[in-house]
């Protein structure tokens, strides 16, 4: 079955390469990834229209930070929040609960779990929770006027299905990207 197969070793190979880096190199990489994540996340507000295509890519720098260590991913996450506070404060409702959370969980599950189904379920569940917090907790229309912020079981099922699908897309894209990074680092 497709979802029961093991993921390739790209994340673990890249993690081992990152472990050989000095602390200074890791901190510089962390700062660079935080700046990149903040720029990508704020692209939707700074470049209306086309910028919304770049905004979801803010997940990538945090995922790469999680491959260094969980601490690095948390540092990138909080630095990005601080930078967004200055650059684009309106993104502070979305980033911590969706894009940032997905990046941390993707990187962590790529290292900790081996089966695609487990990675998909954990990421889908965390994204679902991350969408529901601003939608139902703060009343912020995460999906715009298409989804009401009033509690509804059908809406919850649709959001959960969307979360699983979006996580599945990110798992595929993340593994593709990590394969390319592994080739660049000449780890093959």
- Residue 6, SS3 per DSSP: strand
Tens-digit pLDDT profile for the chain (188 aa)? 677 888 889 899 999 999 999 999 999 999 999 999 999 999 988 888 888 889 999 999 999 999 999 999 999 999 999 999 999 998 888 899 999 999 999 999 999 998 999 999 999 999 999 999 998 888 888 777 777 777 789 889 999 999 999 999 999 999 999 999 998 887 65
DSSP 71-139: HHHHHHHHHHHHHHHHH-GGGGTTTTTTHHHHHHHHHHHHHH--BHHHHHHHHHHHHHHHHHIIIIIS-
Please say whether the beta carbons of 143 and 162 come within 8 A: no
Annotation: CATH topology of 2-184: Arp2/3 complex 21 kDa subunit ARPC3 (1.10.1760)
168: left (phi over 0), alpha (psi -120 to 50) or beta: alpha
């Amino acid at each position: 079955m497709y979802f029961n197969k093991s993921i390739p070793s790209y994340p673990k190979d890249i993690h081992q390469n990152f472990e050989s880096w000095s602390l200074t190199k890791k901190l510089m990489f962390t700062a660079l990834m935080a700046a990149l994540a903040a720029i990508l996340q704020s692209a939707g507000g700074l470049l209306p229209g086309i910028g919304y295509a770049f905004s979801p890519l803010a997940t990538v720098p945090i995922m790469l930070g999680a491959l260094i260590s969980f601490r690095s991913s948390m540092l990138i996450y909080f630095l990005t929040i601080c930078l967004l506070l200055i650059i684009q404060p309106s993104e502070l409702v979305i980033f911590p609960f969706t894009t940032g959370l997905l990046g941390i969980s993707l990187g962590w599950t790529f290292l900790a779990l081996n089966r695609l189904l487990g990675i998909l379920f954990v990421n889908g569940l965390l994204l679902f929770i991350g969408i529901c917090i601003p939608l139902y907790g703060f009343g912020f229309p995460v999906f715009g006027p298409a989804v009401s912020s009033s509690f509804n079981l059908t809406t919850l099922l649709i959001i959960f299905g969307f979360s699983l699908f979006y996580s599945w897309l990110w798992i595929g894209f993340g593994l593709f990207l990590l394969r390319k990074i592994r080739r660049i680092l000449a780890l093959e």
